[in-house]
Amino acid sequence: MEIQEIKQRFGIIGNSPLLNRAINIANQVAPTDISVLITGESGSGKEVFSHIIHQMSPRKHGAFIAVNCGAIPEGTIDSELFGHEKGAYTGAVGERKGYFETVNGGTIFLDEIAEMPLGTQARLLRVLESGQYIKVGSSKVEKTNVRVIAATNVDVYDAVKSGKFREDLYYRLNTVPLKIPPLRDRKEDVYLLFRKFTSDFTDKYRTPPIQLDDDAQQVLINYSWPGNVRQLKNMAEQLAVLERDRIITAQTLLTYIPHETSGRNLPMRLDNQHKEDFSERDILYKVLFDMKRDMVELKKLVADIIEHGGVSTNYANHSQTINQLYRDIELPGNPEAQFTLQQPVNNNNNGSNDAYNITHEAEEVEESLSLIEKESDLIRKALKKHKGKRKLAANELGISERTLYRKIKELNL
């Protein structure tokens, strides 16, 4: 079946190359019995692709069930999936069939697979490899013929490395990986989806059509959409119900977009020549703010030393602190330059303000304005502070671990 026909059949809107590739992979793997691991952010439409795979497979006439592994308590998930015998545990007043028994011959979609307990993961691996399972409280081996499609919104390989997910199960499920692109990577589809959603909701609630002015369209397209298609759909429904003025301006649209304190999700207009990554901008701001803070602290310390110059007992602490501050600042263009606080030879200062001499040994150099140097310097400091642990360094810098990896590679750190 062609991609366009699949889109029409399953109500998929968009022409993004990443979306088309995901649909093509689903179309190719559907006729087989291979296990599929669907990855993608929350709200990106992973369950829709599980329906595509099932409906275009030889099992389309069999049962299909979607199970949210994160919503089932750890103590009952084995019973839910594999069933239990009467008296298997407190409250098991009768025999119960599990999903793998009731969906025999069909497809089971295990959403949020990374939330599955390790014990249940071992049972699932046996089902995938041999089609065998044992009910809770039973010793009889049961057989089932079920295709498993799994999905998650987290990096399963990270869960494997941290010991929260079985490595053998990961490779068994990940026979064919299927990645659903986030909405921020499908900017050409955002306005199409918005028009479809608003049209559906205005028909549903019998309200006049919704339109966006040019500025509002730019805000809509350039927003990062952390909640993906689900968030866009919810906002379209709110606009269709609440707004009396059916021509939506940028200011009106912004009232429906949550503003995080970091400001990273705020929409902004980007031209073709300045497609700057928000995280890079944050790094540069942090460099400047840290330098300004250090200078303010230094000025206060110098003023305090001058004001209490006669207190010789504080000399060592003041000297050490001020020299450390200057070393931390690392004057641009001359990293070896430093300030030294020296005690005068004549100790008979009688409490005068010249009790301490501040000697500036730094040369007058032109400050470097290179953004790359500032960025590299801050990344090095963060990695040094956290002893090379990139995840902690990324949190300190206020960027994602993935962005930090990319920066380290680009800057050859």
Does residue 161 fall inside a structural domain? yes
Residue 286: Cβ within 10 Å count: 18
Residues 346 and 285 in one domain: yes
Structural domain total, the chain: 4
Range of the domain at 311: 278-360
Same domain, 103 and 144: yes
Coil vs helix vs strand at 191: helix
pLDDT band for position 363 (cuts 50, 70, 90): very low
Residue 269 included in any domain: no
Same domain, 283 and 247: no
295 and 176 in one domain? no
Whether residue 242 is contained in a domain is answered as yes
Q: Are residues 202 and 94 in the same domain?
A: no
Is 354 within 8 Å of 344 (Cβ atoms)? Answer: yes
> Could you tell me the pTM of the whole model?
0.61
SS3 72: coil
In angstroms, the CA 65 to CA 99 distance is 8
Nearest of 188, 282, 173, 225 to residue 45 by alpha carbon: 225
Residue type, 307: E
**Count of C-beta atoms within a 10 Å radius of residue 393:** 23
**What's the pLDDT at 364?**
47
Q: Over 70: is that where the pLDDT of 351 sits?
A: no
CATH, residue 45: 3.40.50.300
In this prediction, residue 280 has a pLDDT band, given cuts at 50, 70 and 90, of low
pLDDT in tens, 138-173: 889 999 999 999 999 999 989 999 999 999 999 999
Q: Is 215 helix (H, G, I), strand (E, B) or coil?
A: helix
CATH of the domain at 245: 1.10.8.60
Query: Of 181, 203, 232, which one is at a domain's C-terminal end?
Result: 181
